[in-house]
Every structure is written in C-alpha cells, then in structure tokens.
Amino acid sequence: MDLNLHGRVALVTGGSKGIGLAVVRTLIEEGAFVVAASRSASPGLTALDGPNLLHVAGDLMDSAFPEQLVARTVEAFGGLDVLVNNAGGPPPGVVLPRGPFLDGGDDDWRAIFEFNLFAVLRLTRVAMPHLLERGGAIVNVSSTLAHQPATNNYEYAAAKAALSHAAKGLAEEFGPRGVRVNTVSPGVVRTNWWTDEGGVADMFAGAMGVDKDTLLDKTLPEMLRLSTGRFVEPQEIADAVVLLASPRSGSTNGSDFVVDGGLLKEM
C-alpha cells in the first residue's frame, strides 16, 4: 500500500535506535525525507545514511535545541510535514524501572516530566507553525502505562498519561486547521533498554534466577499475560506510527493506537 509519504519531510526524535530507528527506516523506505534527532548516532542509523536522511545531534532537555532542530530540518529539506515525538524513557542519569512511590522525590519526578512531557510540548510548539503551513501530522509515542497504573514507575506513567491527554487537546485545536495529532501506546517492546548488556533484562533475570533469553522469551510474556506470547517488536510500533503519519489516515485524529501484544485487558 502506497502511504503517500514520498517527498514529505519528517522529523523523528530518538531516531538512533529502537522504535525511533525503525520509524526512520520505514519513512525512508516510503520515500520521505527524514531528520533523525538523538544525542548521538548509532551503527543502525549510520547504515541508513543517504540523501533522504539527516542526523541532528542534541539534547531535547536543552530548551534551545528544538528551535535549532526545526531550523535545520527546514533548511535541509524545505519544510516539515510530519513530527514523530518518539524520544522518551529515562533521561541521562535516571534509572528505570523505579520502585515504590516513597523511593522517588521531586527531582526524580521533574527529570522524567522534563524529558517525557515538557520536551515534547516544547518541540511541538516550535514545529507547529511549519506543520500548519503544509497540513501535517504529529504522532506521539506514549505507553500502555498511561492507561494502566502500576505500583512502580509512577512519574513515568504520569508523564505519559499527561502526554496522551495533551495530544487529545492538540488534535481538537489543530485538526480543523489541517494538523492531525495521534498517539501510539506501546506495551513491552524488545528494545535496547531491555536487551543491552547490563540492561533491565539482565537485572530482572538475576533477581528471578533465570537467564536473559528465558526471561524475554518465556517468563515475562507469561507473567504479563501477553496474549501473543511475546514482546512487541520495534518495527510493529513503527508500522503504526508511519500509518498514522500518512495522508491515508486523513480521518484519524485524536486517536490512541495501542500496540501491546494483548497486555491491556480492559475495554
């Protein structure tokens, strides 16, 4: 299916690995010009190098960076049609998952909200005039934790819930002016955060007395009651993101697409 993205300009945050890298790759395959923003490049991103890709290094928690990022995008490719706010999770120096509520203080909450909410809104504010010029689309990557609170990661879940809420309001305000805003909420996704050496999977595996592969392939899918029996792959999130970014989704606005392997059970 042609998603009508050929020649359109997309800006993807957190574009060097995981979900973001899969989104960048898919947009390029669809013929889009893509600006991938991240703190640093990666082998996976470097492998995509070509005339349709520009990597801009920077920190979204730096309040000056969004202006610079959008300016580089417009300078390189002449405008902006799609914004994918994918960057999220723990900012530098913060370790997730975090335990019970009393384990975190104000600074912990501020850091998570700064990266997962305020940085997104700051970039959206800068990008919106350009999106309005061309009738663009915004896709925010949220989380199933925005739907299903748990007794850990309070600040992350709250920040993602606020992001999903803000997206609904933005869709209502800017949809009539030609900019659609939608959300994708992943469940547990097989990304570097889980799989890297010394990452979360190693931590859980050590605590539970199983090897990492068993944990990822069997133990956690069973514990989380994933009806598909496995973690979500980054490409599956990217497919939903790119479909929502496409003009083929022209009547989809203010929606939240859950891609979670059957994690959420409620209606």
Which active-site residues does the annotation give? 156
Asked if 256 and 180 count as a contact pair (C-beta separation under 8 A), the reply is: no
**Distance from chain centroid for Cα 265:** 22
> Angle at CA 224, nearest 5°, toward 221 and 229?
30
**Cross-sheet strand order for the sheet of 180-186:** 53-57, 33-38, 9-13, 82-85, 137-141, 180-186, 256-259
DSSP state at residue 229 = S
User: At 72, which amino acid appears?
Assistant: R
Assess contact for 30 and 99: CB atoms under 8 A.
no
Determine how many CB atoms are found less than 10 A away from the CB of residue 13.
26
Q: Kindly state the helix (H) or strand (E) to which residue 10 belongs, with its residue range.
A: strand 9-13
Six token digits for residue 141: 């990557």
Q: Where are the alpha helices (DSSP H) in 148-253?
A: 154-174, 192-195, 200-208, 212-214, 220-223, 234-245
- Distances from the Cα of 12 to the Cα of 27, 43, 158, 211, angstroms: 10, 17, 23, 34
* Tokens found for residue 126: 């800068």
